[in-house]
Copies of this chain bind each other. A is one copy, B any other.
Amino acid sequence: MSAEGLRVTVWNENIHERIAGSVPAELYPDGMHSVIADALRARLDSDAVIRVATMEEPEHGLSAESVDATDVLLWWGHADHDGVDDFVVDRVHRAVLGGMGLIVLHSAHHSKIFRRLMGTTCALRWRNDGERELVWSVAPDHSIARGIDEPLMIERHEMYGEPFDIPNPDELVFISSFAGGEVFRSGATWRRGHGRVFFFSPGDQEYPVYHHSGVQQVLANGVLWAAPTRRTRPGEALECPRAWYDS
C-alpha cells in the first residue's frame, strides 16, 4: 500500500520524558512520540496524516472518533501499563480486529493491548547495561526490512532476551544479538482478525534509539506494511461486518 492519505496515530504514555532532568527528558524534550511522528512525516508521502496521542489526554487521546480515523496506531508504554483504561483497550482491540494496523514498540510488549492480542504473558529476559544491539534480518525480502542495513546497529541499548513468551509469529523479520551474548526475536508480525500487528523491540527511553535513521526507516516500513487493505468512511471503515464480528 502506498502512504496516500494514510492516517497514522503515534501513542505514547509520555511519563519518563516529563521527569525534569531525566535522561529521557533530555533525549526527547517533546516526548518520544514527537520524534517518531516527525520521522514518519519525513519518510512517508506528504499526504499521510500523522497525529500524536498521549496518556494524559481524555480517553488517553483515543476517543472513538480518533480511533475510527486511524489506519495505523503505534504504541509506546512502560511505566504505567495498568493506568490505561480497559474501555480504551477494548476499543483499540476491536479496531485492530476490524483492520487497523498496530505497531507495538519496545516495553509495550507488556502493554494490555499486546497481551490481549497475543494471549500470552509476553514476558522476556532483560538487562539494562547499555550494550550494543545488532538487528539482523532473517527475511531480507520482507517489505519491513527494505533498505535497512544488515545489520542495523544500535550502539547502546537495553538487552531483551529469549525466551520471549509470544505465540509463534506469522513472520519473523528480525533477530537481535547483544554484546552480552543474548538473542531476541526483535521484529515479528501477526495477523489478528482483519488487522496486522508488528512488534519491534528497539526503543528504550534511556537511549536515543528513535533518533536512529535505520530505526526510523523500520517504523515507516512497518506503517506501510500494517496499513489496512480495506478503508471506507470513518465510523464504518474499521469495524468488522456485524455478521463476522457478532455471530
Contact = CB atoms under 8 A, between A and B. Distances in A.
Oligomer: number of copies: 4
Interface in A106-120: 116-120
Contact of A246 (B123, B136, B182, B245): B123
A211 interface: no
A185 interface: yes
A165 interface: yes
A183 B181 contact: no
A240 interface: yes
Contacts of A245: 121, 123
Interface in A190-247: 190-194, 229-230, 240, 244-247
A176 B183 contact: yes
A172 interface: yes
A217 to B, nearest CB: 15
A106 to B, nearest CB: 15
A72 to B, nearest CB: 15
Interface string A167-187: 110101001111101110100
A162 B244 CA distance: 10
Interface stretch (A51-59, A61-69, A138-146): A138-146
Given A165-B244, A168-B170, A175-B185, 16 more contacts: A97-B121, A97-B165, A119-B192, A123-B245, A132-B181, A136-B183, A138-B163, A138-B164, A150-B163, A167-B190, A167-B192, A168-B191, A172-B172, A177-B177, A177-B178, A177-B181
27 contacts: A97-B165, A99-B141, A119-B192, A121-B193, A121-B240, A121-B244, A123-B246, A123-B247, A126-B247, A136-B162, A138-B163, A138-B164, A138-B185, A140-B194, A141-B191, A141-B194, A141-B229, A141-B230, A163-B244, A165-B193, A167-B167, A167-B192, A175-B175, A175-B185, A177-B177, A179-B181, A183-B183
